[in-house]
């Protein structure tokens, strides 16, 4: 019984010491691309039709085929991409600096 008590005390002390060990961690800071008002070139806004985008902003460099359901289409311009659901713009996104078109 005495041996079991001393084993229990030793185990409890070992666990207690392990929880008291200081923990260290590093913080990684990853800067986001700056997509602010610094850029003056306008992008298509939500709700425009494909024909309105073509009329206002010209032909895209690349037209990607529709994917999924509902069909989502991407058009790539020199500094941004435009995403359509059916025939309407759902979002326009600037490309990261240093890259003229996004990866396929």
pLDDT bracket for residue 31 (50, 70, 90):
low
The pair of three-digit structure tokens given for residue 22, joined into one six-digit string = 């200081």
pLDDT bracket for residue 24 (50, 70, 90):
confident
pTM exceeding the 0.75 threshold for the entire prediction: no
Contact predicate 71/33, CB 8 Å: no
Site of tokens 């590093």: 26
Work out the burial of residue 94: count CB atoms within 10 Å of its CB; fewer than 13 is exposed, 13-18 middle, 19 or more buried.
Answer: middle
**pLDDT at position 9:** 63
User: What percent of the chain shows pLDDT beyond 70?
Assistant: 61
Question: Residue ranges of the domains in the chain?
Answer: 50-94
Q: What is the pLDDT of residues 49-96, one digit of tens each?
A: 999 999 999 999 999 999 999 999 999 999 999 999 999 999 999 988
């Amino acid at each position: 019984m005495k041996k079991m008590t001393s084993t229990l005390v030793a185990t409890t002390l070992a666990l207690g010491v392990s929880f008291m060990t200081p923990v260290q961690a590093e913080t990684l800071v990853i800067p986001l691309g700056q997509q602010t008002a610094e850029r003056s070139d306008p992008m298509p806004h939500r709700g425009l039709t494909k024909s309105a985008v073509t009329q206002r902003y010209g032909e895209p460099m690349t037209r990607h085929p529709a994917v999924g359901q509902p069909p989502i289409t991407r058009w790539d311009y020199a500094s941004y991409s435009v995403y359509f659901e059916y025939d309407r713009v759902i979002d326009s996104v600037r490309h990261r600096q240093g890259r003229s078109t996004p990866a396929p």
